[in-house]
């Protein structure tokens, strides 16, 4: 029996207006080398000045993951040469990070630290071009403990982590544009035996790649070990085309980054007051919402998870639930219909208040569920008030017992054969008779009342 | 015109128009610099109704090249002005030229310049000291009334001493480093060279103050440095660093003793004090400075600016060949020493330990300053040495900084004041060190000594 041990290192780009150590704008897709200045180009004599907004976003994520924020942390220089790294060193936090010791989804967070991003190389034929727009973009690196046991758990962890980043307004979570990047450390060992040697798998920058890379790496390691081989500590690259990982560099080729405190920057001092201010301003986070939806509204874990997928949906649901006074109905509408419309049409124009109005119309017996669906499909595009549609289309259902009774009498009169069969014990014929009653009322009879009244009049 | 240039700036500007004075400087440079070679670049179009000033060529300027006396920056022009340059320009200073230095300020003789040796105006066969040798020689030869240099371990005070002029290293953080090409960021500080103490006080006042572009620059208020120059030293307490004078012999010792007698004669209390850790200063200095330098010089990689090897075929070549061709031997030596000191497995034994000893040194100095207003040593252990005398023996060259490096490691201000002459006619110098941000008192003490001795008036 083999066990897998997995830890994730996630880089999240902070949603700041400007870069971490200079005033250049952070923007995706600008023409190459237009968002640059002497500092982020590493010009002689230029110096870094820490962006306070970046620190604030990092603090937000540290609070959101229950980390301890250190009142003093240190920026260090991580030294290596590469054309996308203008200074020849990356400014990053090393042995004194911003925050340590939190958790997400039951997976422990070892640390969260701040650092600057590098630029990008663009290869054209045999030439390589350097675009330094991204150089100096603020990042946080979130390092988990090796608490993850499977690709599915890794997926769930990254899902919650991404949600949390987005809820807290820390990162836009866009994996395609590289706002969120992930590396996985994977090892396997037999039940009851010591942990195995780990490999680091780079470039798992989508949920699908993450699962595929972990599954492949677990299977590869087991295969090597079962064949009597050994796993070597190395960095591997996931190739999305083949679905395989391959060696990028061995332990021997690993860089000696020669970290040391960056003398251009003072220690980062964070006062408790600042942390408190940030904490107060944080929105309710997805994990707390999932718990609340289950406890307060009695929703299933699955439904609750669907509703917290994004902060926008969760807040929409909260508003609809509060305004309608029927959280379960609001949950059903949101998870089934609002999300379906969003998928089909790109957006749902119906406000949470409008949805609540619709729910109230149903709960008051003004409209039936069939009419409600019809109305919803329309106002999801128009954003119209559901009451106006009910009015305009005459969709209000008939809940007057006298009117229903009159129609039922007609049905009984016209369908003597079926009525006799029913009274003789063939109760399944009841559905036919209800159908006739609905027809008689052009579908507007309150279905519940129609059932009860008909049953009563049939004498049984 | 020579008579004019022999006057302190504040006296000379009362005599002639700014234009006449500036022309006198440019004429003096044309007449004398062929033999001395203090300047790497002269701006004959320099304009400004204020102080004509020369600037060490590791301080970036938009209107002149900035080479750091290195082939790797041959012809480099900065896209921005250093903060000190902006401040000088705002006060109408005329930046007349860029002065020679040891490549990237690494050296104590200005022999390690890729563009030639600067000669000592008192004896052209001798070195001017370094690394701000060009700045010191330019002032000593009365080509300009003032020059900016930079200090990492004594690079303003030591050449000032060897050239018989005043050299000031301010408190770390007193002057913005923005635009000073970094050697060792935690030690570097821009300093001033002038004929007289008064001129130094005036020039420091022009460039000192907080700069938001330099995170290490201090918000401590800037004093009126020239306001107490006439107050004298009666009752002030001077501590003579025992560990320093124990090493002195011959005429340097006699000269130093004579300086102490002058101070006593002026009413100062002069006593010996022990600063035990000062003996480790040079060892600590060369580890810390070179470690930081190894990272600071990584940006000179041939990718974005500066020299790129024309023979390079691979990325690896671009780095290796460009740097091999662009850097001189002393710079390479220091990059290698610094890289080693930061390497995995050696960090604690070298860089880590050096920083701990540095903390000890700070402690010892603050203890000494509890009992004394100032600490005294000679500025250098010997007068200027012949060109070539130490180039084959780096360690003996490094020992030139033995009395100056401690102030950089501790971050305190220090001033070198001419204290007379050796029997071979070369200048000697007294160093006065003061507590953090006590520049005003330091200038007062130096002015009192200068008034008693008047060595600055000696002809060279």
Interface probe with B: pick from A260, A261, A262, A269, most Cβ of B within 10 Å: A260
Residues of A in contact with B339 (CB under 8 A): 258
Question: Long-range contacts of range A397-401, CB-CB < 8 Å, 24 or more positions apart?
Answer: A397/A365, A397/A366, A397/A367, A397/A368, A397/A371, A397/A444, A397/A445, A397/A446, A398/A441, A398/A444, A398/A445, A398/A446, A399/A365, A399/A366, A399/A446, A399/A449, A401/A449, A401/A453
Cβ-Cβ contacts under 8 Å between A and B: the total is 104
Per-residue model confidence (pLDDT) at position B181 = 98
Contact B299 A88 (CB under 8 A): yes
Å from B298 to nearest chain A CA? 5
Q: Within the 371-410 window of chain A, which residues sit less than 8 Å (CB to CB) from chain B?
A: none
Tell me the percentage of chain B whose pLDDT exceeds 70: 99
Contact B182 A256 (CB under 8 A): no
Instruction: Say how many C-beta atoms besides its own lie within 10 A of residue A154's C-beta.
Output: 27
Residues of A in contact with B304 (CB under 8 A): 41-43, 86, 130
Per-residue model confidence (pLDDT) at position A211 = 97
User: Is residue A185 a contact partner of residue A9, using CB atoms and an 8 Å limit?
Assistant: yes
Interface probe with B: pick from A24, A44, A78, most Cβ of B within 10 Å: A44
Compute, in degrees rounded to 10, the torsion defined by CA atoms A449, A454, A459, A460: -70
Return the residue matching tokens 């007068």.
Answer: B383
**Is A460's pLDDT higher than 70?**
no
Q: Is B420 left (phi over 0), alpha (psi -120 to 50) or beta?
A: left
**Is B144's pLDDT higher than 90?**
yes
Contact B80 A46 (CB under 8 A): yes
Tell me the pLDDT tens digit for each residue of A339-382. Answer: 999 999 889 999 999 999 999 999 988 888 888 998 999 999 99
- By Cβ distance, the residue of A41, A81, A262 closest to B301 is A81
Q: What is the mean pLDDT of residues B235-258?
A: 95
Helices A352-363 and A311-324 cross at an angle (nearest 10°) of 40
**Is A304's pLDDT higher than 70?**
yes
Residues ≥6 apart with Cβ < 8 Å to A90:
A77, A78, A80, A115, A116, A118
Compute, in degrees rounded to 10, the torsion defined by CA atoms A419, A422, A424, A425: -170
Tell me the pLDDT tens digit for each residue of A89-146. Answer: 999 999 999 999 999 999 999 999 999 999 999 998 888 999 999 999 999 999 999 9
ipTM of the complex model: 0.96
Per-residue model confidence (pLDDT) at position A444 = 82
Q: What is the mean pLDDT of residues B106-131?
A: 98
User: Any chain B CB within 8 A of the CB of A251?
Assistant: no
Could you check whether the bond before residue B131 is cis, i.e. omega within 30 degrees of 0? yes
> Taking Cα atoms as reference points, which of B93, B96, B126 lies closest to residue B111?
B126
Residues of B in contact with A38 (CB under 8 A): 78-80
The residues of B annotated as belonging to the active site are 56, 131, 155
**Is A29's pLDDT higher than 90?**
no
Q: What is the mean pLDDT of residues B382-395?
A: 94
User: Is residue B300 a contact partner of residue B66, using CB atoms and an 8 Å limit?
Assistant: no
Tell me the pLDDT tens digit for each residue of A66-88. Answer: 999 999 999 999 999 999 999 99
Residues of B in contact with A265 (CB under 8 A): 215-216
User: Any chain B CB within 8 A of the CB of A123?
Assistant: no
Tell me the pLDDT tens digit for each residue of B415-450. Answer: 999 999 999 999 999 999 999 999 999 999 999 999
Residues of B in contact with A86 (CB under 8 A): 299, 303-304
User: Any chain B CB within 8 A of the CB of A77?
Assistant: yes
Per-residue model confidence (pLDDT) at position B458 = 87
Per-residue model confidence (pLDDT) at position A327 = 96
> How far is it, in rounded angstroms, from Cα A137 to Cα A158?
22
Contact B177 A87 (CB under 8 A): no
Q: What is the mean pLDDT of chain A?
A: 94
Show the domains of chain A with their CATH numbers: 2-276 (no CATH), 284-393 (no CATH), 401-457 (1.10.10.410)
Show the domains of chain B with their CATH numbers: 2-234+414-420+434-457 (3.90.1300.10)
**Is B201's pLDDT higher than 70?**
yes
Å from A137 to nearest chain B CA? 18
Tell me the pLDDT tens digit for each residue of B61-97. Answer: 999 999 999 999 998 999 999 999 999 999 999 999 9
**Is B158's pLDDT higher than 90?**
yes
Task: Give the pair of three-digit tokens for residue A50.
Answer: 């820490």
Contact B184 A45 (CB under 8 A): no
User: Any chain B CB within 8 A of the CB of A38?
Assistant: yes
> How far is it, in rounded angstroms, from Cα B141 to Cα B459?
9
In A168-206, alpha helices (H): none
**Is A252's pLDDT higher than 80?**
no
> How far is it, in rounded angstroms, from Cα B6 to Cα B16?
13
B191: helix, strand or coil: strand
Tell me the pLDDT tens digit for each residue of A307-321. Answer: 999 999 999 999 999
Per-residue model confidence (pLDDT) at position A399 = 82
Q: Is the pTM of this model over 0.90?
A: yes
Per-residue model confidence (pLDDT) at position B2 = 67
User: Is residue A14 a contact partner of residue A57, using CB atoms and an 8 Å limit?
Assistant: yes
Per-residue model confidence (pLDDT) at position A363 = 92
Instruction: Find the range with the poorest average confidence among A256-265, A426-435, B139-148.
Output: A426-435
Residues ≥6 apart with Cβ < 8 Å to A424:
none
Tell me the percentage of chain B whose pLDDT exceeds 90: 95
Q: Which residues of A413-452 are buried (b: 16+ CB within 10 A; e: fewer)?
A: eebeebbebbeeeeeebbeebbebbbebbeebbbbebbbe
Per-residue model confidence (pLDDT) at position B460 = 64
- By Cβ distance, the residue of A49, A256, A260 closest to B351 is A260
User: Any chain B CB within 8 A of the CB of A239?
Assistant: no
């Amino acid at each position: 029996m083999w066990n897998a041990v997995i830890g994730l290192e996630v880089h999240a780009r902070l949603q700041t207006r400007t870069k971490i150590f200079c005033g250049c704008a952070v923007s995706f897709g600008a023409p190459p080398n237009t968002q640059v200045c002497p500092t982020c180009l590493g010009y002689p004599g230029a110096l870094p000045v820490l962006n306070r907004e970046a620190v604030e976003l990092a603090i937000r994520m540290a609070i959101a993951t229950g980390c301890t924020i250190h009142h003093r942390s240190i920026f260090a220089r991580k030294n290596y040469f590469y054309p996308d790294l203008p200074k020849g060193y990356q400014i990053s936090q090393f042995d004194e990070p911003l925050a340590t010791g939190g958790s997400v989804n039951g997976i422990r967070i070892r640390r969260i630290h701040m650092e600057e991003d590098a630029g990008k190389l663009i290869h054209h034929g045999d030439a390589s071009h350097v675009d330094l727009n991204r150089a100096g973009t603020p990042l946080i690196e979130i390092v988990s403990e090796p608490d993850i046991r499977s690709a599915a758990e890794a997926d769930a962890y990254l899902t919650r982590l991404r949600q949390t980043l987005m809820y807290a307004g820390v990162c836009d979570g866009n994996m395609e544009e590289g706002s969120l990047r992930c590396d996985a450390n994977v090892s396997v060992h037999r039940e009851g035996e010591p942990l195995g040697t780990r490999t680091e798998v780079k470039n798992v920058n989508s949920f699908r790649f993450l699962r595929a890379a972990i599954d492949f790496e677990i299977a590869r390691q087991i295969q090597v070990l079962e064949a009597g081989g050994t796993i070597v500590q190395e960095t591997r690259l996931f190739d999305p085309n083949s679905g395989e990982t391959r060696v990028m560099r061995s332990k021997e080729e690993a860089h000696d980054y020669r970290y040391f405190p960056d003398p251009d920057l003072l220690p980062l001092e964070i006062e408790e007051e600042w942390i408190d201010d940030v904490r107060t301003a944080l929105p309710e986070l997805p994990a707390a919402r999932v718990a609340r939806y289950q406890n307060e509204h009695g929703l299933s874990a699955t439904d609750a998870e669907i509703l917290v997928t994004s902060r926008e949906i969760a807040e929409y649901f909260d508003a609809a639930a509060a305004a309608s006074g029927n959280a379960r109905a609001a949950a059903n509408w949101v998870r089934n219909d609002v999300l379906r419309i969003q998928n089909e049409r790109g957006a749902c124009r119906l406000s949470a208040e409008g949805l609540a109005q619709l729910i109230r119309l149903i709960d008051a017996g003004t409209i039936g569920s069939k009419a409600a669906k019809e109305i919803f499909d329309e106002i999801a595009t128009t954003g119209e008030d559901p009451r106006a549609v009910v009015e305009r289309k005459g969709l209000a259902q008939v809940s007057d017992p006298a009117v229903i009774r009159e129609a039922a009498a007609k049905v009984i009169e016209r369908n003597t054969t079926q009525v006799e069969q029913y009274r003789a014990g063939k109760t399944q014929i009841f559905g036919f008779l209800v159908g006739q009653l609905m027809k008689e009322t052009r579908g507007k009879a309150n279905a519940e009342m129609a059932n009860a009244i008909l049953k009563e009049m049939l004498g049984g | 015109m020579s008579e004019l240039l022999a006057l302190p700036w504040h006296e000379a500007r009362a005599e002639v128009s700014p234009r006449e004075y500036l022309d006198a400087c440019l004429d003096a440079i044309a007449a004398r610099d062929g033999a001395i070679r203090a300047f790497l670049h002269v701006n004959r179009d320099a304009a400004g109704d204020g102080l004509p000033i020369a600037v060490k060529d590791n301080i970036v300027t938009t209107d002149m090249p900035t080479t750091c006396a290195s082939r790797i920056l041959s012809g480099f022009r900065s896209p921005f002005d250093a903060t000190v340059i902006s401040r000088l320009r705002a006060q109408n200073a005329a930046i007349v030229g860029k002065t020679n230095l040891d490549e990237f300020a690494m050296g104590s003789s200005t022999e390690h310049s890729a563009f030639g040796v600067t000669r000592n105006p008192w004896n052209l066969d001798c070195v001017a000291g370094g690394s701000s040798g060009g700045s010191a020689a330019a002032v000593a030869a009365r080509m300009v009334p003032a020059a900016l240099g930079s200090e990492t371990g004594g690079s303003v005070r030591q050449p000032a001493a060897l050239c018989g002029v005043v050299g000031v290293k301010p408190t770390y953080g007193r002057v913005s480093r923005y635009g000073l090409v970094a050697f060792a960021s935690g030690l570097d500080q821009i300093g001033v060279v002038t004929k007289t103490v008064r001129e130094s006080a005036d020039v420091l006042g022009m460039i000192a103050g907080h700069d938001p572009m330099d995170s290490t620059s201090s918000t401590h208020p800037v004093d009126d440095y020239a306001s107490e120059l006439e107050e004298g030293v009666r009752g002030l307490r001077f501590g003579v660093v025992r560990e320093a004078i124990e090493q002195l012999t011959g005429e340097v010792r006699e000269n130093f003793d004579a300086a102490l007698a002058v101070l006593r004669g002026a009413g100062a209390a002069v006593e010996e004090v022990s600063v035990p850790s000062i003996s480790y200063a040079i060892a600590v200095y060369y580890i810390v400075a070179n470690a930081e330098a190894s990272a600071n010089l990584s940006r000179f990689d041939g990718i974005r600016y500066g020299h790129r090897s024309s023979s390079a075929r691979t990325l690896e070549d671009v780095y290796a060949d460009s740097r091999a061709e662009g850097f001189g031997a002393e710079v390479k030596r220091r990059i290698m020493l610094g890289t080693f000191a930061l390497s995995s497995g050696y960090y604690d034994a070298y860089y880590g330990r050096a920083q701990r000893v540095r903390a000890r040194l700070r402690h010892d100095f603050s203890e000494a300053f509890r009992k004394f207003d100032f600490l005294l040593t000679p500025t250098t252990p010997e007068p200027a040495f012949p060109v070539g005398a130490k180039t084959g023996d780096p360690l003996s060259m490094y020992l030139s900084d033995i009395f100056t490096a401690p102030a950089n490691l501790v971050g305190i201000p220090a001033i070198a004041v001419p204290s007379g002459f050796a029997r071979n006619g070369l200048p000697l110098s007294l160093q006065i060190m003061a507590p953090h941000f006590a520049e005003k008192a330091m200038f007062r003490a130096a002015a009192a000594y200068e008034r008693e001795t008047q060595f600055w008036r000696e002809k060279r």
